[in-house]
Structure 1
Amino acid sequence: MPKTSARLLALLSLLQARRDWPGTLLAERLDISLRTVRRDVDRLRELGYPIAAVKGPDGGYRLSAGTELPPLLFDDDQAVALTIALQVAATSSGDTLAEASARALNTIRQVMPSRLRHRIESLRITAVERPATRPAAPVDGDVLLAISAAVHAREVLRFDYGTSDAPPRRAEPHHLITWDGRWYLIAWDLDRGDWRTFRADRITVRTPNGPRFTPRELPGGDVATYVIGKFRGSGDASGNWPCQGTVILDMPAATVALYTRDGVVEEAGPDRCRLTLGSWSWAALAAAVARFDAEIEVVGPPELTEAFAHLAARFSRTAARSVA
């Protein structure tokens, strides 16, 4: 029979794993008697865990919510996941939540076993806030830890990217970020001599890491500005779209604002609004505006007017072929 302390931790871990546990099943899983289960449950209750008795043929137990937070037990994977979540909250939330997340993260680090603490201390994540529009791509937690450790240690990261037959990559890792439901590595690609953005779910890390390096200055100096610029297609990493225009729509501003993520919507009279929007090309910008079922008046620039004319001609040809 395991020692009392180890047995209590095992019992607590089981109670956290599912809603209800029959007493006989707990006794079987822990290889102890039902009487010992009852005694251990009483010990956990004395420690502050609200364990309720469940009525039934065999009886049972349920770990319920209490009025105070008792000591918690996490396995290694849970500890890593919790650390990642708290780091994201600490870097992307408002002042109050960010401060609380940072304090919670510090508390967890203090009680981590040494084998986990050394791994988690190297975990550095930056969250660039944006509502996710797609499900998160699954990423192995060990991959995130390995990338973050290389960022923290300032060591060249060696990895395979994409297909297994592609040549290995070498990069100076700068930031590990989340964007639109996915994890990305921002790094200086040594083979291409330029900044690159790599999807973490496509990375297979090679060991050991390469030599240490002196971090380069990220274009724009701010990782959020740089990332937004890259994902919007801006070549200068300024965060501005390469194509930006303004139109008047015969539609209420409140309605247009519901479906505009990055644009600026202003009132322009009863049931009219002024919309300033950007995109990676003039044709894409015209198409983005045309999705609103309303009359459109182009304020500028001329390139946007030309893009509407180009799309109108294309749509007319498409309609004519469809009729024929």
Structure 2
Amino acid sequence: MAATTSRTLELLSLLQSHRHWSARELVDRLGVSERTLRRDVERLRELGYGIESMRGSAGGYRLEAGTGLPPLLLTDDEGVAIAVGLRSQATAGLRGAEHTTLSALAKIEQVLPAPLRRRIDALASHATPGVGPGGGASGRDGTVGRPTPEIDTELLGALALACRDAERLRFGYTDASGQTSARVVEPYRLVPVARRWYLLAWDRQRDDWRTFRLDRMADLFPTRVRFEPKPLTDDEARERVERALRHRDRSVTARVIVEMPREELVEHLGRYGRDVVADGPSRSVWPLEADYIEILAMALMWVPRGTRYRVEGPPEVLEFLAEQAERFAAAAGRGPAVGGRD
């Protein structure tokens, strides 16, 4: 009986994926005979599911669109997604459907296992309201017209729990330039902006707030180490994330490859060298970001005198540096005059 029930539930799960299944596909997936398949279909019909049978070469089975809603089979991730969505609508006030929204939410949550309810509670309490189309940050990350990155719901749930429990995290992160780094952070809020999820966290290595895109995170490791949270409201968290995205959109970036061990360069740069990473025993990479190319160029004056380095960045940055090199040479009497005015 247990095997029969399990097989029937598996058949229902396949049919609920709302696509047409041929009889041969279902027989192969379930590992049964066509006769057994027909019996399982009849069991589901007795339970109230409308299942349409089609004959011929293209024959098979599919769920009918009926007037009633029989019980649904949901995976853990589907249950979490539905409950979080209902909570969001209930909080926002779904006009004309407040009662039914809360009723559906209660029915979903009362049958969810305790671990899933904890994930939902954490997401509801540590995910700020989203900023969608027409909102303050819509499109700032360049997602318009592009596929939305898939987010692992397990990752989303784990981050929400870490925010709720004030637990430090370690993970690998790949920035916009493709550079990877290991981060140790104190997580605070999950913020959806323009179809992407961001984690707002206090970066212990940078000693500052940082915003991380979830689809660029990897190898999440909960440390079991608790921290004392700083005061932060949902509005403040959303504003920090939006400000970070605005800054990234208007800023210019470059990577400075310096022929010097990381420890020596960090000591020379002081607090300005907190983002320096090692590129071998005698080479370092210093990522730079500034609102204007001129400010970025001025930072290069901090590279120790006599140390070889090169700059990697967008064409406009490299062209500006080449132009300034000619002007400096001319100003020092080492080259032809450039940039004069009539």
TM-score scaled by length of structure 1: 0.60
The runs of 5 or more residues in structure 1 that have no matched partner are 235-280, 282-324
Tell whether the 8 Å contact from 1:186 to 1:195 is kept in structure 2 after alignment: yes
Q: How does 1:40-79 map to 2 (within 5 A)?
A: 40-57=40-57, 59-79=59-79
Q: CA RMSD in A?
A: 3.4
CA, structure 1 residues 190+70, in 2 after alignment: closer, same or farther (shift >3 Å)?
A: same
- Tell me the equivalent position of 1:158: 170
How many residues align structurally?
A: 235
Asked whether the equivalents of residues 154 and 172 of structure 1 are also in contact (C-alpha less than 8 Å), the reply is yes
Q: Which amino acid aligns with 1:204?
A: A
SS for the counterpart of 2:185 is: strand
Kindly state the Cα deviation for residue 13 of structure 1 after the two structures are TM-superposed.
1.3
Question: Structure 1 residues 191, 94: closer, same or farther in 2, change over 3 A?
Answer: farther
Pairing 1:1-324 to 2, within 5 Å after superposition? 3-57=3-57, 59-86=59-86, 88-90=88-90, 94=94, 101=101, 103-113=103-113, 116-124=116-124, 125-131=127-133, 132-133=138-139, 134=144, 135=146, 136-162=148-174, 166-218=180-232, 222-233=236-247
Q: Distance in 2 between matches of 1:233 and 1:123?
A: 27
Q: Determine the structure 1 residue equivalent to 2:297.
A: none
Distance 1:120 1:214 in 2: 23
Compared CA separation, residues 11 and 216, structure 1 to 2 (3 A): same
Higher relative contact order by CA 8 Å / sep ≥ 6: 1 or 2?
2
Contact 1:130 1:180 in 2 (8 A): yes
Q: Which amino acid aligns with 2:55?
A: K
1:126 and 1:177 in contact (8 A); partners too? yes
Rounded to whole Å, the distance in 2 between the matches of 1:220 and 1:66 is 42
C-alpha displacement of 1:95: 5.3
Matched AA of 2:170 = R
Contact 1:146 1:205 in 2 (8 A): no
TM-score normalized by the length of structure 2: 0.57
CA change 1:118–1:67 in 2 (3 A) is: same
Residues in 2 aligned to 1:214 and 1:98: alpha-carbon distance in whole angstroms: 37
Aligned-partner Cα distance in 2 for 1:165–1:21: 45
Q: How far apart are the structure 2 equivalents of 1:220 and 1:86?
A: 19
Shift of 1:50: 1.5
CA drift of 1:14 comes to 1.7
Rounded Cα–Cα distance in structure 1 between residues aligned with 2:234 and 2:49: 50
Unaligned runs of 5+ in 2: 249-290, 292-342
User: Would you say the 8 A contact 1:184–1:200 is kept in 2?
Assistant: yes
SS at match of 2:191: strand
- 1:214: how far off? 2.9
Change (3 A) 1:64 1:147: same
User: CA 1:89/1:186 → structure 2, altered by over 3 Å: closer, same or farther?
Assistant: farther
Question: For 1:166 and 1:228, how far apart are their aligned partners in 2?
Answer: 23
Deviations 1:56-100 (A, max 9, x none): 247422112111111111234433444454455455564556775
Distance 2:159 2:234 in 1: 23
Contact in 2 for aligned 1:51/1:62 (Cα 8 Å) = yes
Per-residue CA deviations over 1:280-314 (Å, capped at 9, x if unaligned) read x9xxxxxxxxxxxxxxxxxxxxxxxxxxxxxxxxx
- Give the share of equivalent positions with the same residue, in percent: 43
Please say if residues 91 and 126 of structure 1, whose CA atoms lie closer than 8 Å, have aligned partners that are also in contact: no
SS at match of 1:127: coil
Instruction: Name the SS of the counterpart of 1:123 in structure 2.
Output: helix
For residues 243-264 of structure 1, give each alpha carbon's deviation from its aligned partner in whole angstroms, at most 9, with x where no partner exists: xxxxxxxxxxxxxxxxxxxxxx
Deviation at 1:145, TM superposition (A): 1.9
Tell me, in whole angstroms, the C-alpha distance in 1 between the residues paired with 2:202 and 2:103: 32
Separation in 1, partners of 2:245, 2:86: 25
